[in-house]
Amino acid sequence: MNDWATPPAALAQKKDPARRALVWAGWTVLALFIALVVLLAATFAYYRLRGPTEEQKAALALMRKDWRPAQGVNAFPLLFYLGYDVPADRLDAQMAVDVEKVRKWLAANPDFSSYDSDVQPLPTLSEAEKAVLCDANGMGCLAQVAAHEDAVRAALAAHAATAQSAQVFERADFFWNEFPADPRSPFFPTSKTRDSDPGLGARLWLSAFALRYAEGDRAGALAATCRNLAAWRRMARGSNVLMGTLAASLRMDGAIRLYADMLSGFPADETVPEDCALALQPVVEADVDRCAAMAGEFAMQESTLGWTSAAYPKASWFERRRLDVMFDMRQTLAWQAQNLAPACGSDAVARLLADELPRREKPGSFLFFPVPPGAKGPECIANGFGCVLAGMATLNYGQYDARALDHAAHLRLAATLLWLREHPEGSIAERFARRPAQLRSPNHESSFDTERGALYVKNLYRPSPPQEDRLRLDLPVAAAAR
């Protein structure tokens, strides 16, 4: 029978099974959608209400601890005003004035603009002076100065105040940024006439030591270089500036290279100044302990989040609601603290002393984005922006760990030169192989390069793009000692 001839009631009964299947499918999809929404809402509420875990709370407490040295001379004012007309006896007073000005300036300036200091800059290096002075990395410094003695002498005389500040720097004990932890705070002073040259001090100081050596005062020059090395070594300890510790380590490498060049030409029958043995004492916990630097990094991150959130009330209604859903500052800071904490503490120090990287969990992933170590995917539902932000930051910390190991390895290699001088029996390769454990960095490749006549250690940190002075440290060995 055709459908047109079928009574309406019978036709409806005939189509009911298909219709019912469609209805049930629709209700099933709707139920699943509602269940998914409820699940997401419950997950969001749970993690927002739960807050940081106990482990994260411990990390937060560690990062918020006051790590500032209780006593000693802070090198920050000297290095901050290097190249500016601030007498040594006025450094601390000028720093107090600028710190107070910066505090008021930060409160009145929500925008990210530069702070201009009132201090007057000293004359900058001319291009001719830059061409004859040593580089801050110390590579080829001794030969450079020996080839341009008169020009170097004139350049040092033209910048006498900065060159002579090396003696003030030698008396400093640590490097602590006095300004508020804020991304807008100055790290180097700027003025309306010029910016600071971060490598200025190192260039002038190393050049002055090399000139002294070239003029015949080899013992005095070597002693001064080793005191400078020791000072930079102290600056890399217990600083509240993570990038500052890395910069101090690079400056220490510059002094190490000049020390090695001087030592390679130092008469075999002369006693090496005691300053060198003091500067190159065995690596200890303080050399690798980076709690203060990690805490300083956390303070900067916390301040940055606080500073950017200050613009929140000015955002549109939609933007505010989006941030409410996608960003939880409390949990983001907990993740950031958890990222930084593995480099701090007794276990991390013990591993770093043994030339091993601290234990770190690898960052996870959620929807193709890195997430903080230990964070579960669902946690990111309650803090999507913060999860990605903390996950991206995690990728850098392994490089910071590697640099800390390289810093210690460079100190050990520099100390090995003294040990080889004191133990002349056998070839360099044989003596290097039997050097004591305190001079070894087991996880670094190091050896004696016969072609270059130098000891070397390859760095674990690999910069991009590669830079010659960052790939490995080469230290020449005196021909008489080979």
User: CA nearest 258: which of 206, 198, 204, 199?
Assistant: 206
Residue type, 133: L
Q: What does DSSP assign to residue 446?
A: E
Could you tell me if residue 6 is left (phi over 0), alpha (psi between -120 and 50 degrees) or otherwise beta? beta
Tell me the one-letter amino acid at 154.
A
What is the rounded CA–CA span in Å between residue 259 and residue 415? Answer: 11
Helix, strand and coil percent figures for the chain, each rounded to 5: 60, 5, 35
Rounded distance, CA 93 to CA 86, Å? 10
Q: Are 67 and 293 in contact (CB under 8 A)?
A: no
Instruction: Give every residue of the chain whose pLDDT is below 70, as ranges.
Output: 1-15, 35-37, 39-44, 110-115, 189-196, 308-325, 364-369, 374, 376-377, 395, 466, 468-469, 479-482
Residues 223-258 pLDDT 10s? 999 999 999 999 998 899 988 898 999 999 999 999
Length of the chain: 482
Task: Name the 3-class secondary structure at 455.
Answer: strand
Nearest of 75, 243, 262, 237 to residue 170 by alpha carbon: 75
Q: How many CB atoms lie within 10 A of CB 168?
A: 16
Alpha-carbon gap, residue 431 to 467, rounded angstroms: 30
Q: For residues 457 and 463, what is the distance between their CA atoms, to the nearest angstrom?
A: 16
Tens of pLDDT, residues 344-376: 989 999 999 999 999 887 776 666 667 777 676
Query: Which alpha helices (H) appear in 148-284, and where do they start and end?
Result: 149-158, 160-164, 166-170, 200-214, 218-235, 242-264, 274-279
Angle in degrees, CA 117, 122, 126, rounded to 5:
125
Q: Rounded to two decimals, what is the model's pTM?
A: 0.87
